[in-house]
Amino acid sequence: MKSYQEQPRSSSSCAACKFLKRRCTSNCQFAPYFRSDEPKKFAKVHKVFGASNVSKILNEVAEDQREDTVDSLVYEAEVRLRDPVYGCIGAIASLQHRMVELQRDLILARARLASYVGHCSLSSFLDDHGGLFMAPNFLDIPESNSLPFDQFGRFHFP
Amino acid sequence: MNSGRCAACKHLRRRCPSDCVFSPYFPANNPRRFAYVHKIYGASNVGKILLDLPVNRRAEAADSLYYEAYCRIKDPVYGCVGLITILHQQIHNAQCQLARIQAEIGALSTQSQSEVQQFQQVENVGPSFLPDQNGVPNSTSFYDLSTWFD
């Protein structure tokens, strides 16, 4: 992938350098991701993470992943500014709760379908599958046990 | 050296004052907790976030900051946003599955209702066709069964 450093730089400072009131050099690390017409984007990440920490995080990732990294940092910063107590953790808790509800609805719907087809009665289906309501983890992601919420939505931290 | 310093002040190599904003949430026996939030947010930003909150919300804020920092250190590209994306996908898949099953139930329900209605029509023929208690056929409700075999 072509290095951003080889691309010609525009004459205007990027949003980061404008915010930090410094000269925007041709190899400015922030310039590709914080354009001058998006000042709020950098302001948000700066408020939550700080310029130095954003720079360190960007240096840790491959160049072709930096755009995604900036997008996720901006998202996290926005959510944290909207919800200073829980940030993205609140969003995760809400989504997990929704997932639990959907799993419950799926079990009930499958039971109802099974009873229509006549394979078994509703009560016996729930006897066999009701335990799924309390399954500890519905996510098929690696290390999902590291998620902080149990099936009751309670925090458990690593 | 003050051995009663919190993890934050130990990490920052400074004196831990009695009103230290970090000490209730970053105890000395868990140095990793502050190290993670410091690495991602910086002590100054964490302090500002905590000070902006009422005291009764700070513990939860410190916990969520720690967890987000933990996720970001494990996955520097997506952090905990990666989990949000995965959850959205799984919710979408579950909703599609649910919609399919509900459509199947709807179709079966319609089919069985139509069968029940046909059955009821047949049942309604019987009693009105039967003669009254004097044995006289109820001719006004006589039903021509020959139409069934057309």
pLDDT of residue A87: 96
More confident site: A108 or A123 = A108
What is the average pLDDT across B70-77? Answer: 96
Share of chain A above pLDDT 70, in %: 68
In chain A, how long is the greatest CA-to-CA distance? 74
CA angle A93-A96-A99, nearest 5°? Answer: 155
pLDDT of residue B115: 73
What is the average pLDDT across A76-81? Answer: 97
pLDDT of residue A82: 96
pLDDT surpasses 70 at B135: no
A117 token code pair: 């087809």
Q: Which of A147, A18, A73 is nearest to B45 (CA)?
A: A73
pLDDT of residue A153: 46
Is 0.90 exceeded by the ipTM?
no
pLDDT of residue B109: 83
pLDDT of residue B114: 76
Contacts of B90 in chain A (CB under 8 A): 99, 138-139
pLDDT surpasses 90 at A77: yes
For residue A100, CA distances in Å to A107, A121, B71 come to 11, 24, 22
* Each residue's pLDDT tens digit, A17-37: 999 999 999 999 999 999 999
pLDDT of residue B113: 74
Q: Report the gap between the CA of A114 and the closest CA in chain B (Å).
A: 9
pLDDT of residue A47: 95
pLDDT surpasses 90 at B77: yes
Share of chain B above pLDDT 90, in %: 68
Average pLDDT of the residues of chain A: 79
More confident site: A145 or B2 = B2
pLDDT of residue A115: 87
Share of chain B above pLDDT 70, in %: 78
Average pLDDT of the residues of chain B: 83
pLDDT of residue B27: 94
pLDDT of residue A127: 62
pLDDT of residue A119: 54
Contacts of A145 in chain B (CB under 8 A): none
Which 90-119 residues of chain B touch chain A by CB within 8 A?
90-91, 94-95, 97-98, 101-102, 104-105, 108-109, 112
Angle, in degrees to the nearest 10, between helices B55-74 and A87-117: 80
pLDDT of residue B129: 46
Q: How far apart are CA A71 and CA B49, in angstroms?
A: 22
Contact B90 A52 (CB under 8 A): no
pLDDT surpasses 80 at B136: no
Tell me the β-bridge partners of A149.
Answer: A155
A132 token code pair: 């799924």
pLDDT surpasses 80 at A13: yes
What is the average pLDDT across B11-30? Answer: 95
pLDDT of residue B34: 96
State the pLDDT confidence band at A122, using cuts at 50, 70 and 90: low
Q: Determine the residue among A33, A70, A83, A85 to mutate to test chain B binding: the one whose Cβ has the most chain B Cβ atoms within 10 Å.
A: A85
pLDDT of residue B138: 45
SS3 content of chain B, % helix, strand, coil (to 5): 70, 0, 30
